[in-house]
Amino acid sequence: MTKGNSSADQLIANILTGIEEVKGKEITILDLRALENTVCDYFIICEGTSNTQVNAIVNSIQKQVSKTIKDKPWHIEGTDNAEWVLMDYVNVVVHVFQKHIREYYDIESLWGDAKTTEIETSY
């Protein structure tokens, strides 16, 4: 994360807290700002082990961001089957996957030119 974009940094920090509170796995941040024609500045990608955990991650992110910085997603889709839920916070888009769906779509390689940050978790 960079200096000078404190609202995005704050949003990202709260999203990460939301993911970690319900033990989301394999958390990656893709910084898309140096790429042309992107829909947002950052992707945050993580995975849950089941549709129940995917929905728990989504709910935890929403609660954390709403409580701390009074923001809410502009749009959410995918909660019905909870294999891939997309949360659009405009400049930051969160992708919460089940592992097999994440591997199938492999969006990290689609955005291979993006600066990638892996988030270490202690669980």
How far from the centroid of its chain's Cα atoms is residue 52's Cα? 17
* 7-111, CATH topology level: Beta Polymerase; domain 2 (3.30.460)
Mean pLDDT across 91-101? 97
19-32 per-position pLDDT tens digit: 999 999 999 999 99
pLDDT the model gives residue 3: 46
Look-up: residue for tokens 């009074």?
A: 70
Nearest in space to 45 (alpha carbons), one of 100, 10, 11, 84: 84
In angstroms, how far is CA 65 from the centroid of its own chain? 12
pLDDT digits (tens, 9 = 90+) for 62-86: 999 999 999 999 999 999 999 999 9
Is the pTM for the entire model greater than 0.95? no
pLDDT at 122: 86
